[in-house]
Structure 1
Amino acid sequence: MNIKPSAAIRKNYNEISQLCKRSGGPVFLTKNGEGDLVVMDIEAFARRESMLLLRESLVVAEEGRLSGKSGYSIDEVSNMMKAAVKEVLDGQRG
């Protein structure tokens, strides 16, 4: 875990930026010894947001399954995937 005083962001922005990029994780900034801010690389943030959205979708799907909502068969999913791939490929050609 990377922890820096908040003054470090003002004095050493480039160093903090490189630390975020190099570690791929957040840097925690403190103010008067207490947690204040979290700074992270934009790509790491985008990955984290994508993961959270995926997890949210999976939770919704699992809740539906547990409540008895019908799902799709393997054949139905296969056909949907083939149609989606075809749509993307057709869109690239035209």
Structure 2
Amino acid sequence: MPNIKSSTDLRNNYNEISSFCHETGEPIFITKNGRGDLAVMSIDVFNKFMGRYELYHLLEQSESDFENSRTLTFDDSMKSLREELKNGTI
């Protein structure tokens, strides 16, 4: 069940809300004038979400490349990697 607090609670109980987010890894949803406004979470949880988002984005790109025949053979991939290593670009 989501944890919902008002913007007044955020202002008056910041330390409590921060502790909750860090200890549980769960977000707290903040309302303003009775309507959803923000989601507050620890920076660690945020970074984890961003990592997943970036991974999903790369997977979507890979699927698109595969569907549109923008792929290399294993040998061509290895040749390209060796070139990049030789040139110091990776």
Q: State whether TM-score is above 0.5.
A: yes
2:70 counterpart of 1:69: yes
- Cα contact 1:65–1:71 (8 A) shared by 2: no
TM-score, scaled relative to structure 1: 0.73
Percent identical pairs in the alignment equals 37
TM-score, scaled relative to structure 2: 0.76
Unpaired runs of 5+ residues, structure 2, are: 86-90
List aligned pairs for 1:15-94, cutoff 5 A.
15-73=16-74
Unpaired runs of 5+ residues, structure 1, are: 85-94
2:6 counterpart of 1:5: yes
Q: CA deviation at 1:73?
A: 3.0
CA RMSD of aligned residues (A): 2.2
**Runs (4+) of structure 1 moved beyond 2 Å?**
71-74
Q: How many residues align?
A: 80
Q: CA deviation at 1:9?
A: 1.1
Q: CA deviation at 1:72?
A: 4.5
